[in-house]
Structure 1
Amino acid sequence: MKAAVLHSENRIIYQEVDIDHCKEDEVKVQVMAAGICGSDTHKLMTEWKYSLPAIMGHEFSGLIVERGNAVTNVEVGDRVVAIPFTPCKMCSYCNSGEFSLCENHGMLGSKSPGGFAEYVNIKATNVLPINGMDFEEAAMIEPLAVALHGVLHIHPRIGDKAAVFGVGTIGILVIQWLKIAGVKEIIAIDISDEKLEEAKMMGCERTINPLKEDLVETVLSYTNGEGVDLSLECAGSKVTQEQCLLVTRKKGKVGYLGIAYSDVLLKEHAFESIFRKELTLKGFWNSYSAPFPGEEWIKSIEYIQNGRIKLKELISHRYKLEETQKAFDMMINRKETYGKVLILPNKE
């Protein structure tokens, strides 16, 4: 098969690679759409922690074209989404249903070959049927489940006011879930006016560009001087990870979904906000719960199918498999404003 193979830092080669017949508990998925995650660009530009050469891509959907003898849950021809995470099911976290915290998990696209290829062999327990769902939308189920994992566990209340820092793909998906959860008013915060316009179209009542107006003063003016009930950090910026603490009201909650990939050093005032306001801080990792893969995945599929979640509007770029390097170069060098970028190894 053909694949986009990572050989070294930001060096991807489109080449022929071998793929085995699937094992008795596996299926072979013909990849129809695969998303580039923000973490992919980071891993591509820093020291790769896993074996090279490697095939990246952990957000993908496709068609089952082969199945092992022991597989009974799906059929050849089924449309499916891949669950990239494989829990060990032996550690204490797995035994308590906290699969996202598994200490010895597998992961497609890093520890084993992922979706930037024509085909992927994957355990049959790691695919879910999508029925007639569009493959491009289905490739976004993984980030949608990540967003829902954060929203579910920050426990928003009907009528809350929330601030969402960073309105890239995860931020926009968080905004949609917050609206579904009954949050009364959402303030989108980003340094891109274009991204803020997208947030408005997704139902955000207010937007703030901190480069153009004072963030804290503006949030306080929108919330009767109290601050928001919830802050959700989706930018993965050490700046916004501090700002969350400044705009959240007393007894409020702060949720961290973004990863800064650098030291986060808090100023005295920001750090004191944690205990003077008695804030609750929570971090959210991955998207899995019991029974595996969890309600995050099941509800994501349901809400896409009933039209409650908008995904197509978030896709800004589509590339052929042989153009994978070009796609990463565009994102890394920020040659264009982008939303969700997809690789399409096998066009319908």
Structure 2
Amino acid sequence: MKAGVLFGVNDIRYVDFPDPEYGEDDVIVEVKACGVCGSDPPRILKKWKYNLPAIPGHEISGVIVEKGPKVKNIEIGDRVAVVPFIPCGKCDNCLRGNFSLCDDYDMLGANLYGGFAEYVKVPSSNVLNIGDIDFEIAAMIEPLAVALHGVLGIRPTLGDTVAIMGSGILGQLVLLWLKICGVGDIIAVDISDKKLAEAKMLGATTCINAKEKDPVEEILKLTSNKGVDIAFECAGSTITQEQCLLITRKKGKIAYLGIAYSDIHLSEKAFESIFRKELTLKGFWNSYSAPFPGQEWYKSISYLKNKSINLESMITHRFELSKIKEAFDMIANKREEYNKIIIIP
């Protein structure tokens, strides 16, 4: 098969690669679309920590073309979304149903070959039927489930005022779920006018460009100096990670979804906000719960099927698999601003 193979840091090439071979409980998925996750560029361009050569890509949709003799839950020809996370099923966290916190998991697109390829081997337990959902949209089910994992975990209520710090794909998906939960007052913060425009179109009531205005001052003004009920950190920035502590009201909640890429040093004021305001801080990792892969995935598919969520406007770039290097060169050189990038074999 052809695949986008990573041979070293910032060295991804379109080459021939051995076809995957399935076991008795596996399926082979012909990849129709694979999204570029926000975690992919830092790992591919700067710091890959798994074995090489590797095939990245974990936001996968496609068609079942082969299956092992013990596979009963899916048929050849079925259109599926791939669940990239493979928990061990044996550790204490798995036995409690906390699959996202598995102590010994595997991951497609990391330590296992992923979706930047024509075919990928997947355990049969890790594919979900998508019916007639478009393949490009289905490739976004994984990040949609990640966003829902955070929203369900922080438990917004009617009447809450919520700030989303970072209005990229993750922040936009959080915004969509907040609207479905009945949250009406949503403040979107970013440094990109394009991403803020997208957030506005998706239902944000107020947008703040942090390059032009101090978001902490603006949010406190908007909330009569009280702060928001909930702050979502979706940028993975040391700046927004600290700002969340300053914009949240007393007894408020903060949901940390963005990945930390460097050490975080808090100001005295920010740290004191944690205990002086008795804040609740919660982190959310991945998107999995019991029964595996969890309601985050089943609800995401259901809401896409009934058209309650529309993700099409978020896709800004499509690259054929043969142009995988050009896609990551564009990201590395910051030649164009992008939202969701889809790789199409």
* Structure 2 equivalent of residue 137 of structure 1: 137
TM-score (norm 1): 0.98
Query: CA offsets per residue over residues 55-113 of structure 1, 9 Å max, x none?
Result: 00000100001111111111110000000000001100000000000010010001110
Q: Which runs of structure 2 are paired with 1:133-172 in the superposition (5 Å)?
A: 133-172=133-172
SS of the equivalent of 2:327 reads helix
Residue number in structure 1 paired with 2:101: 101
Q: Supply the distance in 2 between the matched residues of 1:66 and 1:216 (Cα, whole angstroms).
A: 53
1:14-163 alignment, distance < 5 Å: 14-163=14-163
Give, as a single letter, the amino acid of the residue that structure 2 aligns with 1:80: V
1:233 Cα deviation (Å)? 0.4
Q: TM (normalized to structure 2)?
A: 0.99
Asked if 1:339 is matched to 2:339, the reply is: yes
Shift of 1:46: 2.8
1:264-316 per-position Cα deviation (integer Å, ceiling 9, x unaligned)? 10011111111111100000000000000000000000011111112111000
- Measured in 1, the distance between the counterparts of 2:48 and 2:176 equals 33
CA distance in 1, matches of 2:145, 2:20: 30
Write the distance in 2 (CA, Å) between the matches of 1:224 and 1:37.
Answer: 37
Return the alpha-carbon distance in structure 2 between the equivalents of residues 28 and 56 of structure 1.
Answer: 17
How far does residue 24 in structure 1 lie from its aligned partner after superposition? 1.1
Q: Secondary structure, in 3 states, of the residue corresponding to 2:335?
A: coil
Matches of 1:285 and 1:142, distance apart in 2: 12
**How many Å apart are 1:259 and its aligned residue?**
1.1
Separation of aligned partners in 1, 2:55 and 2:46: 16
Matched residue of 2:245: which SS? helix
Alpha-carbon distance between aligned partners in 2 of 1:199 and 1:116, rounded to the nearest angstrom: 28
1-structure distance, mates of 2:217, 2:274: 19
1:241 matched to which residue of 2? 241
Give the Cα–Cα distance (whole angstroms) in 1 for the partners of residues 214 and 2 of structure 2.
50
Within a 5 Å distance, the mapping from 1:202-221 to structure 2 comes to 202-221=202-221
Counterpart residue identity of residue 147, structure 1:
A
Q: Bigger shift: 209-218 or 222-231?
A: 209-218
Number of matched pairs: 345
Unaligned runs of 5+ in 1: none
State the Cα deviation string for residues 151-208 of structure 1 (Å, max 9, x = none).
0000101110000011110000000001111112000000111111111100000011
Indicate if the aligned counterparts of 2:20 and 2:120 stay in contact, CA closer than 8 A. Answer: no
Equivalent AA in structure 2 for residue 186 of structure 1: I
For the residues of structure 1 that align with 2:84 and 2:119, how far apart are their CA atoms?
Answer: 14
Structure 1 SS opposite 2:173: helix
1:250 CA displacement: 0.4
